Structure 1
Amino acid sequence: MSRPRLPAQPTLAQLRALIAVADAGGFSEAAAELNVSQSSLSEAVGKLEDVVGLPLLRRTPAGTVVTPAGERVLSHARQAVQAASDVLLAAQETQALSGVLRVASFRSTATHLLPPALAAFRQRHPGVTIKLLDGEARGGGAAQVRSGHADLAVVIGADLPELTVVPLMLDEYLFIAPQSRGTHPVTWAELADAPLIIPPGPNSCNVLLREYLRARDIEAHVSLEIEEDSVILGMVGHGLGCSVMPRLALEPAPPGVVSLPLPEPFTRPLAVAVLPHRAHLPVIRTFTQTLIGSLKAGLPPRQRSDQAHQDALFH
C-alpha cells in the first residue's frame, strides 16, 4: 500500500525571499540587497504562493505591496526564519561568536552609550557583524524586536509587553536656554511660557515631555519642530527659543546655551529589550553583558540602574 502524499511545505529560502521583498518594497530592491538575481527571487515567491494557494505580494505603480494573506503569512515566516537561525546561534560558544547582530537604538544612545560597548565587543568577538538600526523607525525599537527586525533594542521603559527588559540607566531631562538667560532656577511659569523647539510628531522624547507637562496642567508652547538635536541646540544658542531634552541628547553642549534642572526631576529609564526566548542566545547575552559592563564603568552611580534587575536576565 502506498503512503499518502504529504502536502508541500514552504522552504526557508522561499520564506526569506518573501520577507526580503516585503521589507524592500520591490523585487529589484530586494535582489540588490541580497545580491541575487531578481528572477530567482520571483521564482521563490511564486513557488511559495503555489504552496499557500493565494497571492502574497501584489505589484503596484508605487511598488510591491503585501496582500492580506501575505501579511498573515509574513509574521510566521519571520518567526520560522529567525528560529532556524537561532538553532545555529544557540550552539555557539561564547569564545567564538559569529553572525549578524541587529541593534535598534536612538540617536543619542547610539552616539554616547553604544560606541564603548561596540569597541569592546568587536575586540573580543570580531566574527560578529553589528548592524545599527533606527530606534524610532518601524514603530520603535520594541516593535522592531517583536517583529524580528531587530535582535535587541535600547528602549525607554521598564515594563514592555512580550519582552524581557534589562534596565541600563536613568537619563535626566534638562531645560535648554540661550546663555543670556543665566543660571537661575527654572520655574513652572517659565516652562509654560517658553517657546519650545522640540522634535516633531510621535518622537519618544517628545511624547514623554508632553506627558510630563500635562501632568502639571501645562500645555507645551511649541514654536518650532526640528528633527535633529544638533539643529535644535543651534537654534537655542541663537535665541530662537528653548528646549527640553535628555542629557545624552545634549552632550556635548555647544557654546551659547545653558542646561538647567527642571522644577521637578524628570528622567527617561533606558533599557535593553529582547524577546524572552532569545535572551539567552550567546551572542545576545554577551552583547547585553558587554553594554552593561561598559555603562557600569563609565556612569556615575546616580545614573546607573539597579544591578539586581540587570542580573535578572541571566539567572
Structure 2
Amino acid sequence: MPSVATELAPQELRVLVAVAHEGGFTAAAASLGLTQSAVSHAVRGCERKLGAVLFERGRGGATPTPAGERVVGHARRILRLLELLPAEARATESARIAGPLRIAAFRSVAAQLLPAVLTRLAERHPQLTPEVRIVREIGRGTAGEVADGRADLGLATLDADTAAVPGLLAAPLFTESYALAHPAGHPDPRSLPLVDWDENCGSYTRSWWGRQDWIPSATINVADDTVVLSLAAQGVGMAIMPMLTLANPPQGLAVTDLGPRPPTRQVGYVTTPELARTAAVRAAIRELRSVPLPPGLTRAR
C-alpha cells in the first residue's frame, strides 16, 4: 500500500486540473474559490509527494511539463470516476442510467452515425445527457481525449497510433471503404489533380495508396473534408474519401468505386478499463454495435 504521505486527495487533483485548464495559478484560484497562495501551496505539495515538477512557471502563467500532462490526465480520469459514483449506485438499484456521457468523435462519424445512436439512447435512457465534442482525427485525436480524461468514450479510427495510447480499451465497430469523388460528368476523373485533407490517408490506407501509380501528389490540401467535396464538385480536382464523408454529397459531385479491393479504414470505440464498466458507457456501446449502418460500412464481427 502507498504511504499516506504520497497520496493525493481529490481536492489536490482538482487544483492540478484547474491550473492546467486555466493556464495559471491565479485564474485557477478564481475558478476554485481559493486564494492564489493556496493553489500554489497545493501544487508544490503535489510535486513534493510525486517527486516531479508538474508545471513550468513563468510570467505568462503555468504550463504542464510532460510529467504534468500525464498526471493531469490521470487526475481528470479519477475525478470523473468519483463524479460517476452516485449515478452508478442508483443505476445498480433501479436500472436507470442518468447523468452526462462525454463523447468525442470525428466529424463524419458524428454527423452520420451518432444521431441514430443518440436517439436510441434518449428513448431508452431519458435521464442520460450525452455531450458530444468534435475532435479532429490527427495525432492522438479522440483517443487522446479519452486518455487525457476529457471524454468517457471516443469514436476513433483504429490504427497503430490508437493502439499505442497506453491504458485504453479499443474495439472495432465497422470497416469503412473509400471511393473516388469527382465532378459529375467528367470523362476521366482519375486524370484530375488530387485534392486532399489533413485527416485523410492514415496508416489504414497508406499501403493501398502507395501501390497506385495514377494518384498524383495533392495540389490542394485543406483542413476540412467538406471543403474537399465542395472543391471536387466545382471541378477543381478529384479526391479519395471515406464513405461516411460521401454520405450526402453536394450538388455536382459524383462518387465512383475504386474497384473490388478499395482502401478501407477501421472505426471503433475507445474508452478506459474503468469507464468501460460504467452503465452509461456500456449503454452507448450497445447502441453503437446495433445501430443500422449506412452503405459502404461493414460491421465488425
Greater shift, 80-89 or 217-226, is seen at 80-89
Match of 1:313 in 2: none
Q: Please report how far the alpha carbon of residue 6 of structure 1 lies from its aligned counterpart in structure 2 after TM superposition.
A: 6.1
Match of 1:142 in 2: 143
Unaligned 5+ segments in structure 1 are 310-315
Tell me if the contact between 1:12 and 1:81 (Cα under 8 Å) persists in the aligned partners.
Answer: yes
CA distances 1:151-190 after superposition (whole Å, capped 9, x unpaired): 11111227835543333222221101111315x7x7xxx3
Match of 2:285 in 1: 288
Match of 2:218 among 210, 214, 222: 222
Percent sequence identity is 28
Q: Please report how far the alpha carbon of residue 74 of structure 1 lies from its aligned counterpart in structure 2 after TM superposition.
A: 2.8
Task: Give 3-state SS (helix, strand or coil) of 1:96's partner.
Answer: coil
Tell me if the contact between 1:168 and 1:292 (Cα under 8 Å) persists in the aligned partners.
Answer: yes
| Cα distance in 2, alignment partners of residues 276 and 256 from structure 1 | 46
CA distances 1:107-163 after superposition (whole Å, capped 9, x unpaired): 000001001111221233333332222332672122222332221111122783554
Q: Does 1:167 align with 2:161?
A: no
Tell me if the contact between 2:81 and 2:275 (Cα under 8 Å) persists in the aligned partners.
Answer: no
CA distances 1:265-304 after superposition (whole Å, capped 9, x unpaired): 2222211122234322111001111222223xx546x733
Give the counterpart letter for 2:255 in structure 1.
S
| Cα distance in 2, alignment partners of residues 209 and 269 from structure 1 | 10
Q: Please report how far the alpha carbon of residue 258 of structure 1 lies from its aligned counterpart in structure 2 after TM superposition.
A: 0.8
Match of 1:118 in 2: 118
| Distance of aligned partners of 1:84 and 1:247 in 2 relative to their CA distance in 1, 3 Å threshold | same
Task: Give 3-state SS (helix, strand or coil) of 1:181's partner.
Answer: coil
Unaligned 5+ segments in structure 2 are none
RMSD value, Cα: 3.2
Tell me if the contact between 2:74 and 2:149 (Cα under 8 Å) persists in the aligned partners.
Answer: no
Match of 1:312 in 2: none
Tell me if the contact between 2:205 and 2:264 (Cα under 8 Å) persists in the aligned partners.
Answer: no
Kindly tell me the number of residue pairs found equivalent between the two proteins. Answer: 288
Give the counterpart letter for 2:194 in structure 1.
L
Match of 1:260 in 2: 256
Tell me if the contact between 2:181 and 2:255 (Cα under 8 Å) persists in the aligned partners.
Answer: yes
Match of 2:19 in 1: 21
| Cα distance in 2, alignment partners of residues 63 and 163 from structure 1 | 31
Match of 2:186 among 170, 178, 181: 181
